[in-house]
Structure 1
């Protein structure tokens, strides 16, 4: 993991990150971001928002922060980032650049050296390879310390358990009243589930989910939260219309010809829907093209069981990523809001929660934060779009 921080910035602050995940992802492309300096305009600021879990590295690369504290939740005991369950671990990082021969021309790469008094590091210096997403998950590339040049970025990374963070906060020496703190709270600190799990439990598979998302994305296109909610309401009405039409078919109230023809069935469904002229602002294509895609979507939905349709309704549709992300494009359309990882994924540690546990976590959070320091900035992330915060509890 790379957390690059500029120790020399006169305005340096540190990040107190309370989250079920470290959000330590590597940026797709460091060349798009302002390194060693703060962003100078809105364009540069937008280029820093490449993906959902990389904001810490990019903010650190500008020199904004020189200390990163991840407070991990109680349910993450034995998690991948602290398998030995140490309640507190800190690491010192130095980050620089090096050129690697790629054949045609040397490629500029980030490199880093890491040291810690808390555990032994087999290969302290490595090429980060952060600008190649296809290398995500591959082991680091060990290098000699002398190969990493211009190591003027650096800082401290701390991994702290919830209980230890409470103890340290009470000491008054861990975070001082004079410190400049960015407090970042992600609601999956309370629990983490795969929102798509009920779909799999109901007999659907990845192809089924992707197929529905494909047609949703050809029909519904939005670029703001208000229209996103409007599109979801439209989708919910479509699901109810499909369910009602299926009931009418099963009861014999609709003729066999209507129920066996995809086009006729879709017309029966749309007869229960608002006129499409009232929803054209959330549609991707002209009416005729949208109708063509609706026939395919309705046909897929009509093959779902009533239980599957109910779970699809509970998940709904959403934009595939925040409209503030660098790569966002309205024309990519919306998706079934089934989250980033399925229930069988080994990339995320899942934990279901309940009201009692939520209350305990809230008390721990309050105890941790009722201290002398006052954050300069507070952010709260719901983690609903990525499907991690338990959907039945996020409200």
Structure 2
């Protein structure tokens, strides 16, 4: 090849390369321009899906740290079948009337599924709480809207308690709450001057149809910093223990089974919730089939090999440190299982199942931790004041439409949203939860048309992202 031809070929190659570089650069520029105009310019609003309602607190704290919501003076729109307005327990080290200074202090506030709102108010995050409740929920009076100023302080009666003074148009009443007492005796009246208050907030209660009307007024201001919090039990409540009572399973058997489970299974990882449920279903099936053909002792002895194999596969699931301790615990658990008939335990395995007693995020004093229990939720047949309501398909469609009418175009200042499933603690109808969650997320995402939404599923959801499914 002549030098001239070589130079021409080299020049053409460089020219083609230069054209490719120019075209690539132009495409990158156009991509960045498009991203800036059509994506980056849109606000991104996170939606966090949690299992138990107090698990929203870490996400609210993160939102403050990340600048998504203000440190104070935010408005909470709480859409729920329950008010969740119970005060937290003031354990040693609780950050009282100030923002938590450390992860340890934050953890102390994450206590129970009805204590998270007051925990956030005490931390100073919210100065206005709006509870929107469904029309199926019966209230003490016929008022569809109330607005109460609540002042908070603390009182010392052998230990510290949160005290509250509620002020409305007629009067001011003060009291403190002792959650250790029976439910009818927990609210203890006190004089106004006994409660040295440190903060206050507005608490508004509004029925859903009335809320639609109020959203059309200047109820919310243009500069409000809004957090929308939604519980799927807004659609309805089906107490998780109902299959047990429906099929006339003796509740004392359930209590005995839970007592036997406590020293036998000691879950340490979230995956142990699934593994514990599977182990118990499989073990119970073997025991209850075998007991029809042989004695209890023979049944227990024959299952020993399978149990040791399970123990070797995942020793962290079990409380025992050695084989002898394992077998002793197994003997007590197996005897509790063998009290059931095959049909009874089939109902438990399919309709109720086994799960953690509460989330690993829940603060438990004395270094306690959740155990594996029959997944009947927080309520029991002899200890509940919760109103039930199982929604029809038509009612669910109407409630979703009502929710969309309520929120669409009215919460443009929403900064973050949290959605609670309430399955493990036994409120949301389990057969409907996937459908209800889909409806709720769709309504929230469509409520602010100028923003993008990113949905985050918490790592501690019962059965993971997919949640409850029918067997």
Classify the TM-score, shorter chain. Answer: 0.7 to 0.9
Structure 1, 62-71 or 288-297: larger mean CA deviation: 288-297
Aligned: 1:175 with 2:220? yes
Q: How many residues align?
A: 360
Aligned: 1:355 with 2:396? no
Distance 1:30 1:333 in 2: 22
Correspondent of 1:58 among 119, 129, 151: 119
Distance 2:131 2:194 in 1: 30
Tell me the equivalent position of 1:384: 423
Tell me the equivalent position of 1:113: 165
Correspondent of 1:138 among 163, 182, 185: 185
Correspondent of 2:355 among 313, 318, 332: 318
Correspondent of 1:223 among 265, 268, 271: 268
Correspondent of 1:186 among 231, 239, 258: 231
Correspondent of 1:160 among 206, 209, 222: 206
CA positional deviation for 1:157: 0.6
* TM alignment of 1:331-370, pairs within 5 A: 333-370=371-408
Q: Which runs of 5+ in 2 are unaligned?
A: 1-69, 435-471
User: Are 2:289 and 2:342, in contact at CA under 8 Å, matched by a contact in 1?
Assistant: no
Deviations 1:60-111 (A, max 9, x none): 01111111111111220x2xxx3223211111122334556x6xxxx65543
User: Are 2:149 and 2:166, in contact at CA under 8 Å, matched by a contact in 1?
Assistant: yes
With over 3 angstroms needed to count, the CA separation of the structure-2 counterparts of 1:27 and 1:350, relative to structure 1, is same
CA positional deviation for 1:360: 2.4
CA positional deviation for 1:59: 1.0
* TM alignment of 1:1-395, pairs within 5 A: 11-29=72-90, 32-76=93-137, 78=138, 82-98=139-155, 109-117=161-169, 120-121=170-171, 124-130=172-178, 133-134=180-181, 136-138=183-185, 140-149=187-196, 151-171=197-217, 173-246=218-291, 249=292, 254=293, 259-260=294-295, 262-269=296-303, 275-276=309-310, 277-285=312-320, 286-313=322-349, 314-327=351-364, 333-373=371-411, 374-395=413-434
Q: Which runs of 5+ in 1 are unaligned?
A: 1-8
Deviations 1:173-211 (A, max 9, x none): 222343111211111111112211221232223321111
**RMSD over equivalenced CA pairs, Å:** 2.6
Distance 2:326 2:236 in 1: 38
Distance 1:30 1:114 in 2: 24
User: Are 1:235 and 1:316, in contact at CA under 8 Å, matched by a contact in 2?
Assistant: no
User: Are 1:212 and 1:300, in contact at CA under 8 Å, matched by a contact in 2?
Assistant: yes
Distance 1:185 1:274 in 2: 44
With over 3 angstroms needed to count, the CA separation of the structure-2 counterparts of 1:337 and 1:56, relative to structure 1, is same
Partner-residue secondary structure (3-state), 1:133: coil
Partner-residue secondary structure (3-state), 1:70: strand
TM-score, normalised to structure 1, is 0.82
Distance 2:339 2:199 in 1: 56
CA positional deviation for 1:166: 2.1
TM-score, normalised to structure 2, is 0.70
With over 3 angstroms needed to count, the CA separation of the structure-2 counterparts of 1:141 and 1:239, relative to structure 1, is closer
User: Are 2:165 and 2:175, in contact at CA under 8 Å, matched by a contact in 1?
Assistant: no
Structure 1, 159-168 or 223-232: larger mean CA deviation: 223-232
CA positional deviation for 1:228: 1.3
Partner-residue secondary structure (3-state), 2:114: coil
Tell me the equivalent position of 1:3: none
Distance 1:333 1:143 in 2: 38
With over 3 angstroms needed to count, the CA separation of the structure-2 counterparts of 1:158 and 1:299, relative to structure 1, is same
